[in-house]
């Protein structure tokens, strides 16, 4: 992978300027192992509300672009806030489009990370996202889980940058695990394990 050929698309489930989750995706860009690039996808706000009448006429251009980016990626990194014990609408709306068959998320390796100001670090929200991604299904990395509590101690509140060195080290290990997880699916599998 020394040629930079392994590509991870990074989705943040927050549009906030100083979002900690956008900061997590930027940190992943900086901390990715050699040969791995993390490309932030920053256009979730252009995706219209899902409407099956619109879908029936053909995917709008931002939806096509989103699906194409997911399809081209070796793996996807989703940094999601927890909203109301679940995940933000900006993310689920994109997934409503993206999980419709034929879904680019089908059999796509996905890593989930998240942070919150409180003690549980998006544990509830991440479980909801895992459940949503079962629809295609995507192959969500089971471990390590990256639940980052007490966000205000670890991020720069003005910029959203991840400044805590131990959490940056955890991100480094998480990205290595996501790459290894993805490589497992390059192995041949039997037809009943992986039917299209």
Ligand X SMILES: Cc1cc2nc3c(=O)[nH]c(=O)nc-3n(C[C@H](O)[C@H](O)[C@H](O)COP(=O)(O)O)c2cc1C
Binding site for ligand X (CB under 6 A): 14, 16, 19-21, 81-85, 116-118, 151
Tell the burial category of 156 from Cβ atoms under 10 Å away from its Cβ (0-12, 13-18, 19+): middle
- Please report how close the Cβ of residue 89 comes to ligand X at its closest, in angstroms: 9
Instruction: Look up residue 148 and give its two tokens.
Output: 């980052």
- Please report how close the Cβ of residue 82 comes to ligand X at its closest, in angstroms: 4
Instruction: Look up residue 82 and give its two tokens.
Output: 């927890």
Q: In this complex, which beta carbon is closest to ligand X, that of residue 36 or of residue 76?
A: 76
List phi, psi (to 5°) of 104. Answer: -70, -10
Q: In this complex, which beta carbon is closest to ligand X, that of residue 35 or of residue 89?
A: 89
Instruction: Look up residue 96 and give its two tokens.
Output: 């409503």
- Please report how close the Cβ of residue 25 comes to ligand X at its closest, in angstroms: 10
Q: Which residues contact 153 (CB under 8 A, 6 or more apart)?
A: 164
The span from the CA of 8 to the CA of 76, in Å, is: 5
- Please report how close the Cβ of residue 38 comes to ligand X at its closest, in angstroms: 17
- Please report how close the Cβ of residue 47 comes to ligand X at its closest, in angstroms: 18
Q: In this complex, which beta carbon is closest to ligand X, that of residue 20 or of residue 41?
A: 20
Q: In this complex, which beta carbon is closest to ligand X, that of residue 81 or of residue 104?
A: 81
SS3 57: coil
Q: In this complex, which beta carbon is closest to ligand X, that of residue 23 or of residue 104?
A: 23
């Amino acid at each position: 992978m020394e040629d930079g050929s392994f590509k991870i698309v990074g989705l943040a489930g927050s549009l906030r300027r100083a979002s900690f989750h956008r900061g997590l995706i930027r940190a992943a860009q900086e901390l990715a192992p050699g040969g791995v690039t993390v490309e932030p996808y920053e256009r979730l706000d252009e995706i219209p509300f899902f409407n099956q009448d619109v879908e029936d006429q053909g995917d709008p251009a931002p939806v096509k672009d989103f699906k194409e980016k997911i399809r081209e990626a070796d793996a996807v990194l989703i940094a999601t806030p927890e909203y109301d014990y679940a995940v933000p609408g900006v993310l689920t709306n994109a997934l409503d489009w993206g999980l419709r068959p034929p879904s680019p998320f089908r059999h796509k390796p996905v890593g989930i990370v998240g942070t919150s100001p409180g003690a549980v670090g998006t544990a509830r929200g991440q479980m909801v996202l895992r459940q949503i991604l079962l629809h295609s299904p995507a192959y969500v990395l089971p471990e390590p889980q990256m639940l980052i509590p007490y966000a205000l101690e670890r991020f720069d509140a003005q910029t959203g940058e991840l400044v805590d060195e131990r959490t940056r080290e955890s991100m480094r290990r998480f990205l290595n695990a996501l790459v290894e997880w993805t490589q497992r699916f390059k192995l041949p599998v039997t037809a009943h394990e992986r039917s299209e």
